[in-house]
A and B are shown apart, each in its own frame.
Chain A
């Protein structure tokens, strides 16, 4: 069994890309299904009654080949709902094709695309939960982020949270004349937590499926021995779920028959808060999505919003600084992920602490640049917040040229050849190439399954087209491959950093006028970057106002968790833990 990591360098596509040409795609669809598709504002508008047929055509037609559904979300317009799909082709490395489906305001109903793109499962559940759009034909349409008894759909524009103050920040009433009045005394909505009729929270018991007795089913499994399956709730309080995350596992002995992720414990309606915030206020808020990659999240949000600011041209030095920070973030995240994975395997924190030791040096750099070690809030629309101090470059050069390569090699040498690690990680949690694409996985999980897809190469943003780097891919798609891919990616990041630190010019770091409010033109944009955990997308819709009309985050942790059940089936409890560790999730962005 070969577990070498292959390194490939797919060239960015230069040929005309049919997926980006919505009009051509619409024409192709209309050849088969009359009047099923049209083009509105550059997006493909599909008639909802023919959605599944059109989606199948989009996926299977060799001229279109939209085999990868990256993101699925929805917008609540005053007169209608819109479900928005972002489609890509991974082999030709092109996209996105933005497809929209309209739904009726009174009874929003759209056919489910899970049969076409299985990765739509969790995303459709999220839209159902948050926006109240029913996906007909979805296999398991239940609430996902909110709890089962919740009334209402929090992302709808008419939904008001408890202690609602005003539609948009900055709130005028935060600065009243004279004495402070507390929000809970000021607002008429202080009791607007709506409970189902006849519901008493003190007598609530969870649904039967969550509240199962120790031994649940008496029916024998196949085979001669009469045995019973056992349902174990791993989490939300469990040392290895990396936060308040729950896996409902059905066990036959120690073998996993079925695994379902249960999420939403840390849900705080990030997107709704983001829609109340002014554009720039969301910049520090993106830090909180993923405490390991705040620099990357800032970067992604800035890219998305800058697409709606055509006058802005980010200065060279700022682009370099953003890339330097993003690549350091990748090394920080991968060190942490690998340390955590080995801790999950039972190596009693030693690799974890060795990894954290290296991470501290990079956090020092972040602190120099932004003033904060973890919540950096560094990018701005049109540049970065401030230039780096003079002592930044010597330390960065020392780390990149000396310390980090040695640390990565050491990590590789000590651990990657250990017999116990090999025995634990090889051929565990296999995700094939086809499954990885169908389940819409992103980042190291996708690449470890052998798909050479990296946003930095496929859709070069910022100045990534200038750097020389390779994309490591796995051959088997098991936990060990994900491990090796991460180590190889750290090496590639060091390569990029060497080039960036060598080439960084002097000059301005910010374009445009400084101020807390920015002018964003009307429109929509999907900006995405290759964050350490995978492609992170920011879908922003502007109505020309001071706040985003819609602010949606495509979080890699959320989408990768959809593949967990497929990976874990047939393995043992001990394997589940390391499979979850190899996916590398952060609950902040998983639950949003």
Chain B
């Protein structure tokens, strides 16, 4: 038993280090890809091909002055970025990113916890993430932050509903809330083929959940300066940055797990397949950011409530009917 706990602690530590590195390099890769798309060069000065740029950025952020506005609610202002970052990291705990591997004679499962309500846990964590943003917006005592926070809460709550409904239809087909079981259910056929509409709804909502272009309204830099994190600087700001990219990675990983067969694939090891699929999603996120203008807030709300929610509900009813008809 104590060995198990030791193993879990080691896994958690290793995973956090890996995730932080992945986040740092996601930023780097995003900047390079976007520069290419915009006929620029991008960061290429620090290290070969600019590969040390993320380290330089982190160092710079650490040494920046940490400001707290005079009128801010100090405790909340301090807690908000931590809340955002913790929920972002914790959500990754249930995602299986590879098959069981043998390491020094010990069988290691490549996930932290395969709890039987894994999907529900993911939901819970992504819902908690909104608190970080709302509290940051409120406690900064800045009008732009407030507008950003308010926008964000409305947006994330609205888009969580169709997102949930889209995933419930997958759960119906897989017959389990455990992410491990959902991956195994796709051994023969990925759910993207079975339920393409669920995937489209899920992905649109996921972009909105992560506040990325074209739904990046909470931090719309041309309207609200930087939205909810206008007043943040130094490491507190870095935590919001981490949370945002962590959210991108988590929703991408969720999409891979639920719709693209998770770590499963021929020839290559499971974790490599997972990384390849994940990279595809991250590239797609970058591509959209470089291409699309932003929607207006009321248009965003209309899309969520009047288009996506009815569509997701209809999709769920049809899938449920099919599952029942096939005797599932």
Query: What is A's interface to B at a CB cutoff of 8 Å?
Result: 214, 230, 232, 238-240, 254, 342-350, 353-354, 357, 418, 420-421, 423-424, 572-577
Contacts and interface: CB of A to CB of B under 8 A. Distances in A.
Label chain A's interface by main secondary structure. Answer: helix
Contacts of B299: 423-424
A239 B294 CA distance: 15
B224 A350 contact: no
Nearest to B220: A346
A82 B79 CA distance: 63
28 contacts: A214-B146, A239-B221, A239-B222, A239-B225, A240-B222, A342-B293, A344-B222, A346-B216, A346-B220, A346-B292, A346-B294, A347-B292, A347-B293, A348-B34, A349-B38, A350-B291, A353-B39, A354-B39, A420-B214, A420-B295, A424-B294, A424-B299, A572-B298, A573-B223, A574-B294, A574-B296, A575-B296, A576-B223
A101 to B, nearest CB: 43
Contacts of A353: 38-40
Contact of A421 (B216, B223, B293, B297): B293
Nearest to A241: B222
A254 B37 contact: no
B223 A574 contact: yes
Given A347-B293, A574-B297, A230 B225 contact: no
Interface residues of B, number: 31
A350 B37 contact: yes
B289 interface: yes
B213 interface: yes
A347 to B, nearest CB: 4
Nearest to B302: A423
Interface in B139-171: 141, 143-144, 146-147
B200 to A, nearest CB: 16
A230 B144 CA distance: 11
B290 interface: yes
Given A232-B143, A353-B40, A348 B290 contact: yes
A420 B294 contact: yes
A357 B213 CA distance: 24
Contacts of A348: 34, 213, 289-290
B216 to A, nearest CB: 7
B158 to A, nearest CB: 15
Interface in B33-58: 34, 37-40
Contact of A346 (B34, B144, B214): B214
Interface in B191-227: 213-214, 216-217, 220-225
A348 to B, nearest CB: 5
Contacts of A345: 222, 293-294
Contacts of A420: 214, 292-295
B295 A423 contact: yes
B206 to A, nearest CB: 18
Contacts of B38: 349-350, 353-354
A577 B294 contact: no
A576 B223 CA distance: 8
A353 B34 CA distance: 11
A329 to B, nearest CB: 23
B143 A214 contact: yes
Given A239-B225, A353-B38, A573-B224, A346 B143 contact: no
B204 to A, nearest CB: 13
Most interface-central of A345, A421, A424 (chain B CB within 10 A): A345
A238 B225 contact: yes
Given A424-B296, A574-B220, 20 more contacts: A238-B225, A239-B221, A343-B222, A346-B220, A346-B293, A346-B294, A348-B213, A350-B291, A353-B40, A418-B292, A420-B214, A420-B293, A420-B294, A420-B295, A423-B296, A424-B295, A573-B223, A574-B294, A574-B297, A577-B222
Q: Which of A238, A346, A420, A577 has the most CB of B within 10 A?
A: A346
Contacts of B224: 573
Contacts of A418: 292-293
Interface in B286-311: 289-299
A482 to B, nearest CB: 16
Nearest to A255: B298
A575 B299 CA distance: 12
Nearest to B142: A214
Contacts of A254: 147, 297
B293 A424 contact: yes
B29 to A, nearest CB: 16
A354 B38 CA distance: 7
Q: Which 4 A-B pairs have the closest CB atoms?
A: A346-B294, A345-B293, A347-B293, A240-B222
Interface in B268-325: 289-299
A369 B217 CA distance: 45
A330 to B, nearest CB: 23
Contacts of A423: 295-296, 299
Contacts of A349: 38
